[in-house]
Structure 1
């Protein structure tokens, strides 16, 4: 069975439907997405493997998901450090950042130094709406992610990858392959190029919306917000 995926245009339209037909607010969707990501990190990198998590956030919604995930990870007992160099002036993102500062979670501007003091990395820089080229400081960060031996979990897309065509032909992301990918709502076409462990987090998609976009919503167990799936789309 081929894995059903969601194009960038369909993903954007689906988000609009979730906030209109589905009556979700952006805050709610970001909270659920970040919760899903935090659960995936807990699955692949439990605290026994090391509690230090470096969270790299971009200026958009993908970065917001990372901010939420970091808060949940702190409550699980991890020690997140935030790399968030292009902090948005948007009120929502400012509140999310303030929540982390209230927990005394440190923010750093020195990514190379932080990379030497972490056990796992969360890539929440760019999501499905990304289109290149990558600019500084993120080009240097993505190059470092492609070279590090520290495990990386990417949120919705490995940063710098095109949603339809996968990794760029050249540049800092050309050889970037994170260890784990958490597809939010549904997998995107880039998963055909991905070689690591793959999770789907989207336990907020109604049957009506799933039918409209021809999605295969996985069977989530118990209180789980994520499901690990194989190349064929079946749960592992």
Structure 2
């Protein structure tokens, strides 16, 4: 006889999906109150993104093809996370190539760029066309273009054109933190449609309508912040820095 109905059930609060304002507030607290450095956060996130890529697209799954990855980097923090992701993918024996059309003069971003150059990761001076991308030049595109910090109502060139191209490609796309072209706070989009999403800290509100493979990398967050914002983060397995939702 099943007595489970009489046993108290532990109520698990739903995972919190963050607004643009909340994302900025948490990041400010991490930098100001908890003394995380911006470079430190970008490194944590970029490394987690690379691990997520190895889980979603393991080297063995690419068969005899070369594990070529095109990492498209935007002008802000998301672009730097893409640079760190590319460097770790290189260490993990993938073959990343970076397209970083507008390099930021900020020292941190320059440091990440130099690190990639020292790892012999090639940088493209132009974005391949849809045809070039589809014809097996790359097995995967990583979208590190527009993050929560970017105004999605005013996407300027070259990024508007890049999004048009990436909407056409048939190879898988993995997006860093949120798919480029989506509104952070809305579950609707005319942006790109990735197969994989890697949410950082906690998922953004737009991810409620995402139907692909979804990873979360937020294990580093201090418990006080998790509690203050009712993040209700899941239990991460073992020593993993990310979890599939």
What TM-score do the two structures reach when normalised by structure 2?
A: 0.87
The aligned counterpart of 2:45 is 33
| CA–CA separation in structure 1 for the residues paired with 2:53 and 2:165 | 20
- What's the C-alpha RMSD, in Å, of the aligned pairs? 1.4
- 1:7 has 2:19 as partner: yes
| CA–CA separation in structure 2 for the residues paired with 1:70 and 1:20 | 28
Query: Which digits, 9 at most, give the CA deviation of each residue in 1:4-35, with x for residues without a partner?
Result: 21111011000011112222111110000001
Q: How many equivalent residue pairs?
A: 224
What are the residue-to-residue correspondences of 1:148-227 with 2, within 5 Å?
A: 148-168=169-189, 174=190, 176-227=192-243
- Structure number with bigger Rg: 2
Structure 1: which 5+ runs fail to align?
169-173, 230-236
The residue matched to 2:128 in structure 1 has which SS? helix
Query: Which digits, 9 at most, give the CA deviation of each residue in 1:53-96, with x for residues without a partner?
Result: 10000011000100000000000001100000000000000010
The alpha carbon displacement at 1:202 in A equals: 1.2
The alpha carbon displacement at 1:184 in A equals: 0.3
| CA–CA separation in structure 2 for the residues paired with 1:129 and 1:152 | 21
- 1:125 has 2:137 as partner: no
| CA–CA separation in structure 2 for the residues paired with 1:221 and 1:27 | 26
The aligned counterpart of 1:99 is 115
The alpha carbon displacement at 1:136 in A equals: 1.4
- 1:21 has 2:33 as partner: yes
Structure 2: which 5+ runs fail to align?
1-12
| CA–CA separation in structure 1 for the residues paired with 2:117 and 2:89 | 14
- 1:43 has 2:65 as partner: no
The residue matched to 1:112 in structure 2 has which SS? coil
| CA–CA separation in structure 2 for the residues paired with 1:16 and 1:29 | 12
The residue matched to 1:111 in structure 2 has which SS? coil
What TM-score do the two structures reach when normalised by structure 1?
A: 0.90
